[in-house]
Amino acid sequence: MFSTKLIKLALPVLITMILAIILWNPVPEIPPDEESIVGDMYKESVRLLFYNVTVEVEKIRGLDVPPGTEIRVVPNKWVLEQWEYTASELKDEELFYKALLLIPEELNYTEMRNRQIGSYLAFAWKGDVYVVKEHFNPDKPGMGEALSHEMEHIFQGYYFPEHSPDTFDEEMAYSALIEGDAILLGELYARTFNFSYEPAPVPIREVLDSIFYFPYDYGKPFVTFLYLEGGWEYINMALNDPPESTEQVIHPEKYLNKELFITLSMDIIPPNQWKEIREDRLGEFFIITFLSAHINRPIAYTAAEGWNGDLFIMYSNTTDFLFIWKIAWDTEKDGIEFVQSVTTMMDNIGKKDRNVWMVDGKYYKLIENDNYTTIFAGSSKRDVLQNMISTVK
């Protein structure tokens, strides 16, 4: 598991939280006094809706509900107590986003993440479906769709192997499959599924929202493409053999064609007293997000489209940072498009001096490398950046 463990959180307008948060975070046992949490009438309404949903999703999915699957109700207070972050837990993750100019220096990242936690509606964990009492109204439209969404997560956990992605790029791709699949079952249950494929739109969102929403924005069209090509057989195939990159999710035909990417390497000797805090593959989608934070999103989308692999390595000495990001491209033209887009972005937000941009006290340099690769590097120390970039191979 890579160091930042980005958790895809459901925001208020979403009907569910992502299954991954349940798998990646230790959760204590449910309070034993569940009877005291909710009234009998509410419990019975939830259980009746859940029973009706399970009957329908078995027919739609062609799979039996796993034995012993139950519906449980928990209070929002309990959820908040389990998943609140401390600043130390998110320190490296916050540094990563700020170093890449995706969030402003003054943003309290820990507070922002903790505000999101209080919006959970329903989730699946250890073979059961959970609903949050304060947010889940069984008489409200859409609640059956929410439960069917979570039931697909139950099916995924019971009938298909669990995968442990090694990189941010692979993790996002896998989450898109997991959530797109659950959205599909929910829409088939609610009879709102549109039997036609449309590529994922280029959503206009805040930077971090675009990352948190990726499994939904791109997972739905990805799974729709597979479903229209081969029905549940193709969905089951993907759950057994998930996409390996966000490129394959954004362009689903590349998943079916098994189009892969180059594995890159770099020989780097970090400065004394600096430690590596992240080594990762960020992927095509992250490049879109990185560029679109400061330039027109369709242009960013085009600039990222020729992605053919990348390697991101970041160091810190507790007070400063240094990162080297090497990206491979399908063609020379693709590399040129990326260089032009980054140059436009950095010229817009920074001041250039001797081929180094300065933005809010941080320094950045872009290099067109050989063999259709580029290197983008940054540091809070100009001399460290200059010394490091001259030695990268």
- Whole-Å CA distances, 159 to 61, 66, 67: 12, 9, 12
**Which range is least confidently modeled, 127-131, 200-204, 248-252?**
200-204
Q: Summarize the confidence of residues 337-352 as an average pLDDT.
A: 96
Q: Is residue 8 part of a domain?
A: no
- Residue 69 scores a pLDDT above 50: yes
- Regarding predicted confidence, which is higher, 174 or 81? 174
Based on the fold, state whether residues 33 and 92 are members of the same structural domain: yes
Q: Is residue 6 part of a domain?
A: no
User: What is the per-residue pLDDT across 96-126, written as a single tens digit (0 to 9) for each?
Assistant: 999 999 999 999 999 888 877 778 899 998 9
Based on the fold, state whether residues 309 and 191 are members of the same structural domain: no
Q: Is residue 150 part of a domain?
A: yes
Q: Is residue 361 part of a domain?
A: yes
Model confidence at 63, pLDDT cuts 50, 70, 90, reads: very high
Residue 217, domain extent: 19-256
Amino acid 389: pLDDT: 84
Percent of the chain with pLDDT over 90: 72
Amino acid 207: pLDDT: 83
Q: Summarize the confidence of residues 257-272 as an average pLDDT.
A: 92
Amino acid 80: pLDDT: 84
Based on the fold, state whether residues 201 and 309 are members of the same structural domain: no
Count of domains forming the chain: 2
Q: Is residue 269 part of a domain?
A: no
Asked if 178 and 162 touch (Cβ cutoff 8 Å), the reply is: no
Amino acid 202: pLDDT: 62
- Residue 345 scores a pLDDT above 70: yes
Amino acid 376: pLDDT: 97
| Boundary-marking domain end, from 256, 288, 309 | 256
Q: Is residue 346 part of a domain?
A: yes
Based on the fold, state whether residues 42 and 84 are members of the same structural domain: yes
d(CA 34, CA 42): 13
- Residue 24 scores a pLDDT above 50: no
- Residue 32 scores a pLDDT above 70: no
Q: Is residue 67 part of a domain?
A: yes
Based on the fold, state whether residues 47 and 171 are members of the same structural domain: yes
**Which range is least confidently modeled, 201-205, 255-259, 325-329?**
201-205
0.75 exceeded by the pTM?
yes
Percent of the chain with pLDDT over 70: 89
Asked if 320 and 380 touch (Cβ cutoff 8 Å), the reply is: yes
User: What is the per-residue pLDDT across 265-307, written as a single tens digit (0 to 9) for each?
Assistant: 998 888 888 999 999 999 999 999 999 999 998 899 999 999 9
| Length of the chain counted residue by residue | 393
Based on the fold, state whether residues 297 and 249 are members of the same structural domain: no
Based on the fold, state whether residues 302 and 342 are members of the same structural domain: yes
Based on the fold, state whether residues 301 and 182 are members of the same structural domain: no
Amino acid 144: pLDDT: 97
Based on the fold, state whether residues 138 and 177 are members of the same structural domain: yes
H helix and E strand count, the chain: 15, 10
Amino acid 262: pLDDT: 96
Sequence-distant (6+) residues with CB within 8 A of 169 are: 245, 246, 280, 281, 282, 283, 284, 285, 286, 310
- Residue 257 scores a pLDDT above 50: yes
Amino acid 180: pLDDT: 98
Amino acid 25: pLDDT: 37
Q: Summarize the confidence of residues 202-214 as an average pLDDT.
A: 81
| Boundary-marking domain end, from 228, 256, 284 | 256
Average pLDDT along the chain: 88
Q: Is the dihedral of CA 377, 380, 385, 388 positive or negative?
A: negative
User: What is the per-residue pLDDT across 298-344, written as a single tens digit (0 to 9) for each?
Assistant: 899 999 999 999 999 999 998 899 999 999 999 999 999 999 999 99
Q: Is residue 177 part of a domain?
A: yes
Cα dihedral 40, 41, 42, 43 in deg (nearest 10): 50
- Residue 44 scores a pLDDT above 80: yes
Q: Summarize the confidence of residues 184-211 as an average pLDDT.
A: 85
Based on the fold, state whether residues 306 and 236 are members of the same structural domain: no
The two beta strands, 356-359 and 351-353, are antiparallel
